[in-house]
Structure 1
Amino acid sequence: MSVVTKSGKEYVCLMEVHCDFQEERLRAIAKEFVGTIYQKPPVRSSVKRRVRKRKIYSLEVLEMEGRRVLMKISSEPGTYMRKICHDMGILLGCGAHMRELRRTRSGIFTEDTVVTLQQVSEALYLYRNCGEEDELRRILIPMEMAFCGIPKIIVDDETVNSLAYGSPLMAPGIVAFQGFKKGDTVALITWKGEGIALGKALVDSVSMGKRGEVVKPERVLMDKDVYPKAWKK
């Protein structure tokens, strides 16, 4: 789901510097990378190699041992950690490279909230072959959890099915909402908190009128006809 892949990330990164260095100098350089940086993707990357801006929310030096430096980095998606290591090495005057990388957070999901594919496989085996569903229930989470961090709009029951068919959300169908701006990705949910669709806001919430289109669905999540039709043939 794009709301997860496009959300903020956190990594633990092990960098190896190609020469001896002073700890104070490295920590000073690390501080320079916090904020907006310009970054060109490495040669081996899945995107076009052009300079682009990325935000580094935090860069903390955790440990140092010899020429190896352990860092925790929080950034917006699309930031290359190995390029940060490379650029820090340039500023140190001798080069550096990334030895190991571990993603510890993606959006609201952390290492404590995710499971391995092996755990999923074992849970499915127990359910299909033994009729035991406790393990499967333990590891499954509602898809609505991915909506945390983005604006949500509650719609009335009579509007749900039209959205499931891909119709835009009209102002009269809105029951409640969190503030949003034009162009924002918003989640459309029912009174019960069920996910209906993800869409793009066509107006700002502060200037929204009582009529007209408010959100254009971009990805419908709910099956058609789960809620009764409210329109006439």
Structure 2
Amino acid sequence: PVNASAAEIEAALLSFVGEIEQVPSMYSALKHQGQPLYKLARQGIEVERKPRQVTIHAIRVLAVRDDEVDFEVDCSKGTYVRSLVEDLGAKLGCGGHVTVLHRISAGSYPTERMLTLDQLGELKENGGFEALDAVLLPESTAVGDWPQVQLTDNAAFYLLQGQAVMVAERPASGNVALFRASDQRFLGVGEVNDDGMIAPRRLVAN
């Protein structure tokens, strides 16, 4: 039984906001000696997992009903919500597990453009592959929050050969999304080196 009040549950949840050490759940796709942890867990086998540093940006409690809690969490890549719930249960002294888990956004992808498998199946059934193509987002959406760099045709040619190029208008450092200025084709992503040259990191195939 959960002997904590709604206020105590919320306070316990909010204590995880920030950078924390988290032990991945046994029900994860991480591998141990080549075997996914979730397969070992289904066999009743538990192995030691190394803790990882993750960031919980924000937690919002939506509802508390007896021994159930609904909440939203904004977290970094690599965070295991199942582990977060297990840690919450340990903090409250009652144990805890996930019953329902919904991903409502991922990175820079807009929530309103996300579709379920059932919705995709219905689209294909009614409109074929053309209907599926119509709802696909461009590759550049994945790095929509990165600084954009526009390349001349000449610079784009050499970049696509794997060479670093110099571009006048660019950030001083960090990752950038690369576009060919003449037709706004997304070329891929690169990184600004210490010498100011932009080196390709991942390019989109023709």
State the alpha-carbon separation in 1 of the partners of residues 168 and 128 from structure 2.
Answer: 39
Q: Give the aligned residue type for 2:147.
A: P
Q: 1:164–1:222: 8 Å Cα contact kept in structure 2? A: no
In 1, the alpha carbon distance for the partners of 2:67 and 2:172 equals 47
What percent identity do the matched residue pairs reach?
26
Which residue of the partner structure matches residue 145 of structure 1?
Answer: 141
Please list the CA deviations of residues 158-177 of structure 1 after superposition, one character each: whole Å capped at 9, or x if unmatched.
11122222222x22xx1533
Task: Give the Cα separation in 2 of the matches to 1:117 and 1:164.
Answer: 35
For 2:119 and 2:163, the matched residues in 1 are separated by: 39
Q: Which residue is equivalent to 1:64?
A: 64
Structure 2 contact 2–66 (Cα < 8 Å) conserved: no
- The alignment's TM-score, normalised by the length of structure 1, stands at 0.71
User: 1: distance between equivalents of 2:84 and 2:154?
Assistant: 51
| 1:19 counterpart = 2:9 | no
For residues 102 and 161 of structure 1, what CA distance do their matches in structure 2 show? 43
Structure 2 gap ranges (5+):
32-48
Structure 1 position 105, deviation (Å):
0.4
SS in 1 for 2:184: coil
Match of 1:8 in 2: none
**3-state DSSP class of the match of 2:97?**
strand
Question: Is 1:198 equivalent to 2:189 in the alignment?
Answer: yes
| 1:138 partner letter | A
2:156 corresponds to which of 160, 163, 187: 160
Q: Provide the C-alpha distance between the structure 1 equivalents of 2:66 and 2:146, rounded to a whole number of angstroms.
A: 43
Indicate conservation of the 8 Å contact 1:36/1:56, yes or no: yes
- Change in CA separation of 1:37 and 1:144 when aligned onto 2, cut-off 3 Å: same
1:82 shift after superposition: 0.7
Q: Distance in 2 between matches of 1:46 and 1:124?
A: 29
CA distance in 1, matches of 2:122, 2:168: 42
Counterpart in the other structure of 1:86: 86
The equivalences for 1:7-156 within 5 A come to: 18-47=1-30, 49-120=49-120, 123=123, 126-127=127-128, 133=130, 135-136=131-132, 138-156=134-152
How far apart are residue 152 of structure 1 and its match? 2.0
Q: CA deviation at 1:157?
A: 1.4
CA RMSD of aligned residues (A): 2.3
Larger relative strand fraction: 1
Return the TM-score normalized by structure 2: 0.79
Give the deviation of 1:106 after TM superposition. 0.4
Q: Check whether the contact 2:192–2:199 (CA below 8 A) recurs between aligned residues.
A: yes
Distance in 2 of aligned mates of 1:104 and 1:31: 20
Deviates more, 1:36-45 or 1:114-123: 114-123
Preserved contact between residue 109 and residue 141 of structure 2 (Cα < 8 Å):
no
Q: Which runs of 4+ in 1 moved over 4 A?
A: 117-125
- How far off its partner does 1:123 sit? 4.9
Q: Unaligned stretches of 5+ in structure 1?
A: 1-17, 209-213, 224-233
Query: Compared with structure 1, are the counterparts of its residues 20 and 152 closer, same or farther at alpha carbon in structure 2 (3 Å cutoff)?
Result: same
Distance between the aligned counterparts of 2:93 and 2:119, measured in 1? 45
Q: Say whether 1:220 aligns with 2:184.
A: no
Q: 2:178 aligns with which of 165, 188, 203?
A: 188
Change (3 A) 1:127 1:161: farther
| Number of residue pairs matched by the alignment | 187
